[in-house]
């Protein structure tokens, strides 16, 4: 059975990711793996002279925290199971990012679903900036949620690309995504001053790119904007799309899409989920 990975820190955002994943799993016959990474609080008390570990009171505190999180994790898993979705759970200790990437490498996941924009403090370890980090390194698709959303409302997905090169994995996953939601794909090339291209050239390339992919239920558009992120947001806004999708190159950037700060000025801005896949 294909599996969805959900990293959780028991926050509201993680709850949103779980709800979304449960709906998706029920609709498409998927299983869920819930992972919590307990970030071991490295003591600042280490000195060059001290070769010992954390002091006893600290270990005691850590043990209590781990036990507490374990029961929270079990509770979450039970709730998922009660909804009729096959679920597995695991608590890991260490660096959240490294542990999540390791988990992804160790098992064949179809999808990661995670919330973003955590509140301050501890929770930010997993969500927030970590979301973007995972997105940049995971070799399977990641859906980042910015707010609660029902899966049956996702009917139009904007997929932005430069339509250069051959990416069979991307195509396979994109088709899978389309099947998950039964949505229409709106292919778009964002044309900016830095990447300016006459439409006649873009259209020829896009048509060639799409020629052998046998997509159903899609359209194609070239959209002008100052950069790719703004273009995606504005275009999604214009056509009332419900999700943004793109392949990433593991480089930095796209921070805007996740923070949503750019889109603040857009009227009726909806916090759309973002689907990303790192391209090899």
Partner 1 sequence: MRKIFCPTDFSEQANHAVEAGYYLAKKFNAEFHLFHVIESSAHTGFNIQGAPGGGTDMEDVFFLKLIKATKRRMTELVSTPGLEEIQVTSSIKIGKPNELIREEIESGGYTMVVMGTKGTSGMNEILVGSNAERVVRSAKIPVLTVKEFVDEQTFKSIIYASTFIDSDSELIEQVKMLQEAFDSEVHLLRVNTPNNFITDWSSRKLMKKFAKEHGLSKCTFNVYNDTIEEDGIMYFAEEIQAGLLVMTTHGRTGFSHLLSGSIAEDLVNHSKRPVLTYNTRK
Q: Which residues contact 55 (CB under 8 A, 6 or more apart)?
A: 43, 45
As measured in angstroms, the least distance from the Cβ of 260 to partner 1 is 17
CB of 209 to partner 1, least distance (A): 18
From the list 102, 225, 270, 271, which residue makes contact with partner 1 (rule: CB under 8 A)?
225
Least separation in angstroms between residue 214's CB and partner 1 is 24
According to CB under 8 A, which one of 179, 226, 252, 261 is a site residue for partner 1? 226
Please state the φ and ψ torsions of residue 178, each to the nearest 5 degrees. Answer: -60, -40
- The least distance separating partner 1 from the CB of residue 224, rounded to whole angstroms, comes to 4
223 binds partner 1 (CB under 8 A): yes
Contact letters for partner 1, residues 137-176 (x by CB under 8 A):
----------------------------------------
Q: 168-181 and 12-28 helices cross at what angle (nearest 10)?
A: 90
Nearest distance from C-beta of residue 240 to partner 1, angstroms: 14
The DSSP element (H or E) to which 209 belongs, if any, is helix 199-211
Q: Determine if 196 is a binding residue for partner 1 (CB under 8 A).
A: yes
Binding to partner 1 by CB under 8 A, coded x per residue (else -) over 88-127, reads: ----------------------------------------
The answer to whether 187 contacts partner 1 (rule: CB under 8 A) is no
**Contacts for 179-184: CB closer than 8 Å, 24+ residues apart:** 179/28, 180/24, 180/27, 180/28, 180/151, 181/151, 181/154, 181/155, 181/157, 181/243, 182/155, 183/154, 183/155, 183/156, 183/157, 183/217, 183/242, 183/243, 184/155, 184/156, 184/157, 184/217, 184/218, 184/219
Q: Provide, rounded to whole angstroms, the least separation between the CB of residue 188 and partner 1.
A: 10
Residues in touch with partner 1 (CB under 8 A): 191, 193, 196-200, 202, 222-226, 230-231, 234-235, 238
């Amino acid at each position: 059975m294909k599996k969805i990975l959900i990293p959780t820190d028991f926050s509201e955002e993680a709850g949103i990711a779980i709800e979304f994943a449960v709906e998706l799993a029920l609709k498409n016959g998927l299983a869920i793996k819930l992972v919590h990474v307990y970030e071991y609080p490295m003591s600042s008390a280490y000195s060059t002279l001290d070769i010992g570990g954390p002091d006893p009171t600290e270990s005691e505190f850590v043990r209590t925290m781990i036990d507490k999180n374990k029961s929270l994790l079990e509770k979450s898993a039970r709730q998922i199971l009660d909804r009729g979705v096959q679920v597995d759970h695991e608590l890991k200790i260490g660096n959240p990012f490294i542990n999540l990437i390791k988990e992804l490498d160790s098992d064949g996941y179809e999808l990661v679903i995670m919330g973003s924009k955590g509140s301050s403090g501890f929770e930010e370890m997993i969500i927030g900036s970590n979301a973007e980090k995972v997105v940049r390194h995971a070799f399977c698709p990641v859906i980042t949620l910015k707010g609660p959303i029902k899966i049956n409302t996702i009917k139009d997905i904007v997929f932005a690309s430069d339509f250069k090169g051959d990416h069979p994995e991307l195509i396979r996953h994109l088709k899978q995504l389309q099947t998950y939601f039964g949505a229409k794909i709106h292919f778009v090339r964002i044309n900016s001053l830095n990447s300016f291209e006459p439409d006649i050239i873009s259209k020829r390339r896009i048509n060639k790119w799409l020629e052998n992919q046998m997509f159903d239920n899609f359209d194609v558009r070239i959209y002008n904007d100052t950069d790719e992120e703004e273009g995606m947001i504005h275009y999604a806004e214009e056509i009332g799309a419900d999700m943004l999708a793109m392949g990433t190159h593991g480089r930095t950037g796209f921070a805007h899409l996740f923070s949503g700060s750019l889109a603040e000025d857009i009227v009726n801005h909806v916090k759309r989920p973002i689907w990303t896949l790192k391209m090899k």
